[in-house]
Structure 1
Amino acid sequence: MNNTSSLEMISTGRRQRRLRGMAVTSLLALLACVLSVSMLLLGNTIYSISDVIRVLFGEQVQGVSFAVNTIRLPRMLAGLLAGFAFGIGGCVFQTMLRNPLANPNVIGITSGSSAGAVFCIIILQADRMVISVASVVAGLATVIVIYLLSRGKVFSIGRLILIGIGLQAMLDAFISYFLLVGAQQDIPAALRWLTGSLNGTQMHELPPLIFTVLFFTPIVILLGKQLSILELGEQSAISLGVNTDKTRLGLILGSVCMIAIATATTGPIAFVAFLSGPIAKRLVGAGFLSLVPAGLVGVNLVLAADLLGQFAFDYRYPAGIITAIIGAPYLIFLLIHMNRKGDL
């Protein structure tokens, strides 16, 4: 009887956690849809839903077609896809390394992609495709360097974070040097890119981001079960039959590619990868894989930040400035909290 009651309690708890996770995921998806529609409707001129739907189905509506197809739709899609990539990629790193500081913004991966892109913009004066390729290559190279230097005889999460922070400082110095020696006419484009913005996104720039998110998201989700086991620790994961090196390599490769392509498209929108995972985990609770919710949180953060930057102030600000205003205080709070717990 006791065993039966215990099994029923476990089954009930598992069902409740699954229902909560599914409900939260659905609400986040609904909010993302509302924000996406708002991106298409709002601007210097507010269009009706019927006009926007007609344009999306291929009908030519004077004044509306140009604004929606050329400006608002690419902007919305860039925010949606980049936000999802930042959110799910950041959650993978934080969960895999069991530390909220171990995200692409803090451990240098985003800086690696940024350094590659700024080098192409200022030194090579390259086009968007070359910038995207350089961003991905630089991001992957940064990950490889951090991983190899932190591995040693035994893989160390603390060593990885410290090496990543140091490498980030060095890469940021390179970026500052490129800005210092660059031609005057190229610096505004580089600074605009570094701020992280959806401004000026064109539809022809989106296919690499679309393909990357659609290709790597299923792979990362399929590895989600192993990701949960990795969170238990290296030795526990090995004892449960997980090939930690291959699993970690697959997760890192998928996450870095998504983050690097997103960074190349929109610039490094600050703190989205850092905030999405903790927010998603708090919302869905324990026992539910938080990768997709984290991606949706990232979508909502980017789209909401872009809308706030456009309409909430007297001047228009890029999305990256708004997310930085939100994320910086959280980072300070997290550092204080971790220091009090003795995790630093």
Structure 2
Amino acid sequence: MTSTTPAAAGTEAAPGTRTEDRTTGRTTGRTRAVRTAGGLSLRYSPRAVTTVTACVLAALALAVVTLGRGDYPLGPVEVIRALTGGGDPAADFVVNELRLPRVVTALLAGAALALSGAVLQALVRNPLGSPDILGLTQGAATGALLAVAAGAGSLTLAGGAVTGGIGAGVLIWVLTRRQGVTGHRLVLIGIGVAAVLTGVNGYLLTRIKLMEAARALLWLTGSLDGRGWDDALPLLAVLAVLLPVVLLACGPGLRMLEMGDDAAVALGVPVARIRLVLLACTVLLASVAAAAAGPVSFVALTAPQLARRLTRAPGPNLVASTAMGAVLLVAADLAAQHAFGERQLPVGVVTGVLGGGYLVWLLAAQHRAGRL
């Protein structure tokens, strides 16, 4: 959320001045500094704070609207009353037991996917870095399909998804570490692994029974149908553990890594250890999100880019990206449920259409800028 990225290696922008985003070349917003009681100085961007606040409020507003829509419609006041324990028994049951687990899963899965995408894009210094392009979600899909083929239930399917995502992450790491885990090599190997796993997933779909294949196909699209607290709570626990690790323990090192390995080493950053920890966090976030909501596409790709454009701040924008991901997925789920008449769509269909269009635009913009 802060925007005090060095304007050049080894220099820092003074408070109240404008800096230049090294990745886009745009002039970023002003920064401000405050001094705490302990004598520490905190520099932040008012625009980034405003963006995060707006995203959080938008996510909460969309959640309230989603909780009120359905066969048993409720107004915002009735929804809030039910959430605070003051509603009638019918509204309390509909909101807290039937609808709230799905909405919470959407918020948490969107936040986890966006955070993993923001970390990956900062690590590889490439806007195409995201779990669904680098093969992590495809690995989660492979693990889930193997569980379905074995006749497993929903809990084992989720475990298979987590195991498959971690396995894909380990495979990518093994293939890249010998010659150094650099941005372009990680992207290229990840795309190759994703292509191979996509073929494996297609084969597995042909080897399972028809009813199981239909169930697996719905999950592969990315769906929040039937989600309960057993899907939301593990994701909440993972986020509670990994958010401090990414934001506090590794966040400053990640900002230095964006300037390149040589500059980061010169500034005393343990590059290999920071990169390994961040990649592990990314794999876990993407895998657990896929286990909870299926391999929802393009949220991890688009949320960090939208957050960067709104904040106009350099750096990974981890907090803004996390909030933006929650907004995108709960908005997409609301559209999937109610924007197409009586026919409800899997949320992955909505994110795929919108995210695919954004990817085409991004590639065209990168080509015009001479970066492709």
Give me the TM-score of the superposition, normalised by structure 2. 0.85
- 1:128/1:205 contact within 8 Å kept: no
1:291 to 318, 340, 355: 318
Percent of paired sites with the same residue? 34
Alignment of 1:163-178 (within 5 A): 163-178=189-204
Return the offset for 1:112: 0.6
1:28 and 1:311 map into 2 onto residues whose CA distance is: 22
| 4+ residue runs over 6 A deviation | none
1:176 and 1:55 map into 2 onto residues whose CA distance is: 44
- 2:119/2:316 contact within 8 Å kept: no
Return the offset for 1:56: 2.8
1:73 to 77, 86, 100: 100
**Is 1:106 equivalent to 2:123 in the alignment?**
no
Unaligned runs of 5+ in 2: 1-10, 18-30, 34-43
- Going from structure 1 to structure 2, the CA distance change for 1:288 and 1:156 (only over 3 Å counts) comes to closer
Match of 2:355 in 1: 327
Q: Which moved more, 1:261-270 or 1:37-46?
A: 37-46
Higher relative contact order (CA 8 A, sep 6+): 1
1:342 and 1:147 map into 2 onto residues whose CA distance is: 29
- 1:196/1:269 contact within 8 Å kept: yes
Return the offset for 1:327: 0.8
Return the offset for 1:171: 0.6
Alignment of 1:179-190 (within 5 A): 179-190=205-216
2:366 and 2:78 map into 1 onto residues whose CA distance is: 51
**Is 1:274 equivalent to 2:301 in the alignment?**
yes
Q: Which moved more, 1:306-315 or 1:173-182?
A: 306-315
1:145 and 1:313 map into 2 onto residues whose CA distance is: 40
Match of 2:237 in 1: 211
1:15 to 14, 17, 32: 32
- 1:41/1:52 contact within 8 Å kept: yes
More helix by share: 1
Alignment of 1:1-344 (within 5 A): 10-13=14-17, 14-15=31-32, 18-58=45-85, 61-121=88-148, 123-222=149-248, 223-287=250-314, 290-314=317-341, 315-344=343-372
- Going from structure 1 to structure 2, the CA distance change for 1:106 and 1:59 (only over 3 Å counts) comes to same
Return the offset for 1:263: 0.4
Q: Which moved more, 1:187-196 or 1:282-291?
A: 282-291
Match of 2:27 in 1: none
1:154 and 1:112 map into 2 onto residues whose CA distance is: 22
Aligned length: 336
Return the offset for 1:167: 0.9
- Going from structure 1 to structure 2, the CA distance change for 1:236 and 1:288 (only over 3 Å counts) comes to closer
The one-letter amino acid paired with 2:14 is I
Return the offset for 1:12: 1.0
- 1:21/1:288 contact within 8 Å kept: no
Deviations 1:259-286 (A, max 9, x none): 1111001101110000011111111112
Give me the TM-score of the superposition, normalised by structure 1. 0.92
Deviations 1:116-144 (A, max 9, x none): 112112x1121233222222222122112
- 1:220/1:255 contact within 8 Å kept: no
